[in-house]
Structure 1
Amino acid sequence: MDVSDFVPGVSSDRDEVAFRLSGRMQGAACAITRQALEDHFWLPPGADAHRMLKTFADGQKRIAAIAERKSLTHPGQPVRLSSSDFATKR
């Protein structure tokens, strides 16, 4: 699974990055919160939209894998990834 040719975009309030999955879940609308990028992908607090997209691109494979798993548990629904989706469960 990977992020599709849809260009990821930052929301107007810079609170999340929207993207779509390719492959089996093609077209699935997804988003990851700024807080998740800060907590798990080293986005600096207060970073601009360009830096958010760079951080998203750097973590794209891990983000897409979590988004795919979440979309399988809630088929047909938009996927919004938060910090808790990336928390290590022990």
Structure 2
Amino acid sequence: MEAAAAGPRILANRRGVAFDLVQANGSVECVVTLEALEAYFWLEPGASDARTLKCFGDGYQRIAAIAARKALAHPSANVELTPSDFGRRL
């Protein structure tokens, strides 16, 4: 029996939001940095945890798509998304 993937959570060091990306071949632990959320998802600096998770949720489709592409390009158990991942033209 498999455990369910954990929901998005603020990292203890408040550096980003961690989430699990479930793919056909398994799960990848991902982090999108607060810097990326501030630069590309209208998160205000110093925002509350609730506001941070709302911005993450609002941008989840785009965040998950970029995380999936990065995981395919660079297979790893962990993926970190920074502003440079969102600023690239594919």
Length-normalised TM-score, structure 1: 0.87
Gapped regions of structure 2 (runs ≥ 5): none
Name segments (4+ residues, structure 1) moved above 4 Å.
none
Q: For residue 61 of structure 1, what is the aligned residue in structure 2?
A: 61
Write the mapping of 1:10-49 to structure 2, written as runs, cut at 5 A.
Answer: 10-24=10-24, 26-49=26-49
Work out the CA distance in 1 between the residues paired with 2:31 and 2:20.
8
CA drift at 1:48: 1.3
Q: Residue 79 of structure 2 corresponds to which residue in structure 1?
A: 79
Report % sequence identity.
Answer: 45
**Structure 1: tracts of 5 or more residues without a match:** none
Larger Rg belongs to: 2
Cα distance between partner residues in 2 of 1:87 and 1:29:
22
Instruction: Tell me the amino acid that sits aligned with residue 29 of structure 2.
Output: A
TM-score normalised per structure 2: 0.87
Counterparts of 2:32 and 2:56 in 1: how far apart (Å)?
9
CA offset at residue 5 of structure 1?
A: 4.3
Please tell me the residue identity of whatever aligns with 1:84. S
1:13 to partner: Cα distance: 2.2
Aligned-pair Cα RMSD in Å? 1.8
Cα pair 1:20 1:26 within 8 Å, conserved: no
Higher share of residues assigned strand:
2
- The alignment of Structure 1 onto Structure 2 pairs a total of residues equal to 87
Indicate whether 1:50 and 2:27 are aligned: no
